[in-house]
Structures are given as C-alpha cells and as structure tokens.
Amino acid sequence: MDRRKFLIGAGGAAISGSAILGSGAFTRVESQRRVIIEVAEDPDAYLGLDECPESPNQSYADIDEDGHLEIDMSPDNPTEVGGEGVNSDSFTFADDVFEVCNNGKQEAVLWIESSDAEDLDDPPEEYEDDLPRVQFYILDEEGDIQRISAENQDEAVDNEWFTSIEEGGCVCVGIRTMTKGLETGDQLIDDDEVVIHANADLVGDENGGNGDDNGD
C-alpha cells in the first residue's frame, strides 16, 4: 500500500491517497532466476496516478519530489487569482482533478476509501443526507456525476459506488466538498488520508464489477 498526500481546504482540508492493486500485478518465483521488481513513479506504476490531462482543475494535482501524486486545494497552492481553498458553507465540485490509469494486465474495479474527520461539527439537519463531507466521483458519458467513494468495500459495492477500468484505460476523478456548518480552516478528511483501491478480483464477481472474471 503506497500512501499519497492530498490537501483540500475550506481554509485547508487534506486528502491523502494510497494505491492497492488486486492480483496479477506481481509473480512469485521460486526458481533460480533473476527477478526485478522496480518502484515506479506514480504515473508509470501499475496503478497510474497523475494530473488529469487538459483539465483546468489539474492545477490542484502535482507529482512531488518522490514521484507521488499530491492534491492540494489549500492556501499552499493558491490559484492565479488568489483562491486559497474551497468555500465555507457551500458545495464545491471540482471535475477531473486527477487521473487513475490501469497499467496492469487485467480489468480492475476502482473505488476510493474516504472518511470525514471525526472532530467536525455536524451539518444542519437538512444537509445530513449530503454526507460525507468529501466525495470522489467521475463523470459518465452524459456528463452526470457517478460517485466512486465510500467508507468501506461493502458500502461501495452495495451502492455501486465504483467504476471499472479496462487494461490500459484511464479515468479522471473529481472531488466534491460539502462545508455546511463548518468554519475556515477545518480539516475535512480523517487522518488527512484516502485509499485508492483498484481490485481485479472484483471484476465480474457478484459483489462488484461488470466484466469477466479473469482470475489471478
């Protein structure tokens, strides 16, 4: 699991990410042969993570000095006209911020594990159905939002909050924040981290995915 740092702020809230690959990425060898397993920068890894090309929101994404994807929507990464974070008491949608590519050898189911920070105030009652505070999504062919984030795999699968990426395919991921009842500077994500799951074992399984089960 590779930890990745994402920063978001209503003043500043952070998101970090990790990559979890399903089967098929590596082979175990028990004979006397030379085996090379090399750590790649995020854009070139089996689960490729990079800025979303040709998107105006790609400026929130960057590859850091360690070759890892970083998302920064905080005062540390202001816009050209001085924006320093998402609005308070608002819904903010940032389409196509970062790109996830399947550089492996089989189709994979993608979903993002994310939880709100525990110390946040509850939103006004009329916005409780809009939780969690931060959601990740893609845009479908009609331009409609398709949520792909959840607190755990069961929630993602039961609600179909996932998408499938074919071998060699890529999707751009957007970020939605809901800051009703919050103040400037509140941190939105639990432990400032999220986990990006790309699981080939879910493809074609009754518990998720929509392709053929390719096995290991």
What residues contact residue 29 under an 8 Å CB cut-off, 6+ apart?
35
Instruction: Note the pLDDT of residue 150.
Output: 95
Q: Where are the domains of the chain?
A: 2-23+42-202
Please report, rounded to a whole number, the percentage of residues in the chain having pLDDT higher than 90: 43
Instruction: Note the pLDDT of residue 159.
Output: 96
Please state the pTM of the whole predicted model. 0.78
State yes or no: pLDDT of 12 exceeds 60: no
Mean pLDDT of 197-215: 62
Query: Using CA atoms, how far apart are residues 146 and 31, in angstroms rounded to an integer?
Result: 46
Question: Tell me, what amino acid is at 28?
Answer: R
Task: Give 44-101 pLDDT, tens digit per residue.
Answer: 788 899 999 999 999 888 888 888 888 877 767 656 655 567 888 899 999 999 999 9
- At residue 206, the 3 state secondary structure works out as coil
